[in-house]
Every structure is written in C-alpha cells, then in structure tokens.
Amino acid sequence: MQSQLLRLTVLLTFILPNLQNLSAKELENPRAITVIGTGYVGLVLGSCLAEIGHQVTCCDVDSRKISSLERGEIPIYEEGLEDLVHNNTIKNRLFFTTSLKNAVLESDIIFITVGTPETLSGEANLDYVFSAAQLIGENLNRTKTVFVKSTVPMGTIIKIKEVIQAHNSANVPFSIGYAPEFLREGTSVSDFMHPDRVVIGVENTETSQLFTEIVQPILDDGAKILTTSIASAEMIKYASNSFLAVKISFINEIADFCEKIGADVEEVALGMGLDKRIGQSFLKPGPGYGGSCFPKDTLAFLKSADKNSIHLSIIDAAVQSNNTRCEKILTRMEKTLGTFQGKKIAVLGLAFKENTDDVRESPSLKIIDYLVQKKAYVKSYDPIATQNALKFYPELNIARTLYEAFEDCDAIIVATPWNLFTQIDWQIVKQICRGSFVFDTRNILCPMEVKNAGFSYMGIGKKPLME
C-alpha cells in the first residue's frame, strides 16, 4: 500500500504536470492584464496570456483593427492565432477595445507592445511607447506594474518610467520591467508558448516574482527564465537579434565564395552546423534578411552604440553586406541572362519570409524595385501577402494564380521560401513560359527536377545547372 501511495505521489508531482498542455491548466491566480498595441507582437501576447488562463484586454488606437478582431477576423496571418483568439474570446478571457484609458484603469498589469519603427536616421521611433507611458501615468488609479515588450534601445525603459512618473499626478507607486520578445513571425504562437528562454529585466524582486507567476505555465512546460537588470535585458534583445543578423550575412558571403570555387553552401552550412557551438539554424543563404525586426533593430543598436562611443564594427559590416545583397545576387543573374531590359520576369513570393503576410523590409520588394529600375516587366505572386504588398506598391503587377505568373515569362525568381513553390510542376511551367531560366534565391527547389524540365537553374552558393 505504502509503495503504491508513493508511486501515485510521484506521478502527481513530477509526471502529470508535464503531460498537461499549457491551455488545460487552471491558473491559481489569474490576472487582469492590459496589452497596449495589438500588432503582430501584441495580439500574439494577449491571445497566449489568455490561453494560459489570464483575463486579457488588448487595446489599440487602430479602430478598424479592433473592430475586425471583435468580429473574430484576424488582421494578420499567423498559424494558430485565429483559433486562439476565437477560443479565448468565447471563454470571456480575451477582449478588444480602443479605449486605452479604461483598459489601463481596470487592470494592475499592463504590457506595452506598440510599434518601435525605424526613423529616417535609423533610430527607433519611440513616440508610441512614450504616448502609451503617458496614458498609463495619467491613469494610475492604483498600484500597477508595467512590462515593456516592444523592442527599445538601451536606456529607454528608464525614460519610459520617467514619462509615467511625470504624468503620475497622484504619485501612485508603480513598478516597471522589460520583457523582450523573441518570437519569429510565422511561428510566433509556438515560439511564445515554447520559448528557449524568457528574459525579464527588473528593478526589484517583486516585479520579477509577478512576471514569473504570469508566465508560470510556460516555465512549467520547460522554458528557462533569466531574471536580470533592465539594462542587461535591453542588451540581450538587441545583441540576440544582431547576432542572428550577423549569422545570416556571414552565410550569405560564404555562399558567394562557394559559387566562385564550386563548393556547395548547403553542405558547408551542414558541416559547420554539426559543431554545437555554431548550430544549424540561421545558416540559410538568400537575398538577405528582411522583416520588421532585424533591419531596424541592427540599425537602432548601431545608433545606440555610437551614442555611447562604441563602434559595433562586426554588426555594421553585416548591415552593409545585407544592404547590397539583393543587388549583388541580381547582378549575377543579369550577367547570366544577358539583360533584364524588356524581359518578363515572374517573382514568386512578396512576404519577407514564409508563413507570414508581413512585407516590411521584404527582399522580394527590393528585388522587384531593382528589376523595374532595369526596365524589366515584373509579374509577382504570393499566396498570402499580396494585399499588404499592394499597400506599399499599388502599381505591383499581381498574378491571380501561381501559374498565371509564369505566362510568357523569360525568367523566374523564387524570392520567398513558401512551401507552395516546392510543389510547382515544372513540366507545365515549361509549356506556358517563354524563357528557360530559374533563379532560386532561397535554394528551396530541386535543381535536377527544374533542369530536367528544360530550364537553367541558378541557386545561391551552388553550381548553376545550365540547360
């Protein structure tokens, strides 16, 4: 009897908790949380916090965004997000509002996830985080804790605290922490629910204890948490993003070298990545990194370092390398094709990466820009991101279907690594296009399959297969 009881205790204490999924747990102490800024980061944060049991109000100044969310329509494309929003809305754990004031008044915990876009000088535009801070200061009706999740340059959290205090006319006590986000678009829900690590920068232990309690189900599921100072947390975020950007620029330049000497960059990356100190990820060469983070965060980091009389020369070099990446690979293609002028070119993919509708700093749009300047005729297709691309480029020539993009084209460029493009029937394409040149800037196609259908195949960091 005794041993059975012991076994049951072990099961209940050590094994069962890990078998439950995150959302099934009932939180001991669910919190009322306000999220200010319901974009790619804020909406995922709010939905996931609701999923693990909290009562979350997501607010935003964009009334169209909020009203579409209230209708259950998700304004961004993100795997699994629609179900999360729907399930938690019907369970009355997730709400949406444009009344930021009421949302702040009614909760003790506020997350700031408004945008920190790049300014013309390359610095982060902090107007939105400061206006959120002012709103919080003006509505400190009782003690609150503010967690900033927007990516902000070193020293900003203290400035946010000063803005809150400057508008805290009743001098109500409040705490602030910095909880940098590491989610990747396209996998943001799973990245949030199963992160490698959670980082929290604080000024006191009460704030880190509160944050730990808020994300406890994620920690129970195996994520590590690092509690550190606010300055170190700010540095961890920018240093992590910048290191990943350096890694990408590094493999892109190695790919260029591979092309010169007939090495295969994919085998080189595999050989490198088998060293645990290097790792396999972020060693895929391509047209350069894009998105709303790496380009702006590396620039903001460089600016922030310059202000402290530090020159981050390696990151600077990676940024310079990335800035000329599209032109460099297209020049190589142009040499092979002869000229772009007057050519009809199909560009496959508009999003900055697969599985997202985000086109911010998309290499695809840089490729299209370059081709148009060279007087080529471009027709593009993207399974998801077209509407967003048209907001940036209304004059884009969009193919309604994938195969329409190939009609009478002289050359094809794979610009975004959508899985859909690996399913293309190149025999059919050969019948409807005019030319016979495929430039796979993401190395996602099977070169021999493309060549056997009658095309010349050019990848990145690989020997071309000329027809």
Q: Is 393 in the site for ligand UDX (CB under 6 A)?
A: no
Candidates 95, 96, 111, 128: give the one binding ligand UDX (CB under 6 A). 128
The interface region with ligand UDX, picked from 24-32, 88-96, 281-289, 392-400 by CB under 6 A, is 281-289
Catalytic, 258? Answer no
Contacts of 154 (CB under 8 A, 6+ apart): 231, 234, 235, 238, 304, 308
Candidates 183, 302, 329, 385: give the one binding ligand UDX (CB under 6 A). 183
Q: Between 40 and 457, whose beta carbon lies closer to ligand UDX?
A: 40
Q: How far apart are CA 209 and CA 424, in angstroms?
A: 52
Taking CB under 6 A as the criterion, which residues in 217-256 touch ligand UDX? 241, 244, 248
Q: Between 88 and 113, whose beta carbon lies closer to ligand UDX?
A: 113
The minimum distance between CB 243 and ligand UDX, in angstroms, equals 10
The interface region with ligand UDX, picked from 24-32, 36-44, 220-228, 316-324 by CB under 6 A, is 36-44
The minimum distance between CB 185 and ligand UDX, in angstroms, equals 4
Q: Are strands 197-202 and 174-178 parallel, antiparallel or unpaired?
A: antiparallel
The minimum distance between CB 325 and ligand UDX, in angstroms, equals 9
Which pair of structure tokens corresponds to residue 316?
A: 């600077």
What is the number of helices (H) and of strands (E) in the chain? 20, 13
If you search the block for the tokens 């069962």, which residue do you land on?
16
Beta-ladder partners of 198:
225
Contacts of 35 (CB under 8 A, 6+ apart): 42, 45, 46, 49, 56, 57, 58, 59, 110, 111, 113
Q: How far apart are CA 413 and CA 424, in angstroms?
A: 13
Q: Between 54 and 284, whose beta carbon lies closer to ligand UDX?
A: 284
Question: Got the DSSP string for 371-392?
Answer: HHHTT-EEEEE-SS-HHHHHHH
Candidates 33, 52, 65, 312: give the one binding ligand UDX (CB under 6 A). 65
- Binding-residue pattern over the window 283 to 302 for ligand UDX, x denoting contact by CB under 6 A: xx-x--xxxxxx--------
Q: Is 426 in the site for ligand UDX (CB under 6 A)?
A: no
- For 81, 105, 375, the CA distances from 32, given in Å and listed in that order, are 21, 11, 56
Do residues 139 and 105 touch, judged by C-beta distance below 8 A?
Answer: yes
The interface region with ligand UDX, picked from 107-115, 258-266, 430-438, 444-452 by CB under 6 A, is 107-115
Q: Is 329 in the site for ligand UDX (CB under 6 A)?
A: no
Do residues 398 and 380 touch, judged by C-beta distance below 8 A?
Answer: yes
Q: Please tell me which residue in 48, 59, 293, 326 is annotated as part of the active site.
A: 293
Residues serving a catalytic function are 293
Binding site residues, ligand UDX, CB under 6 A: 36-42, 60-62, 65, 113-116, 128, 131-132, 150-151, 181-185, 241, 244, 248, 282-284, 286, 289-294, 352-353
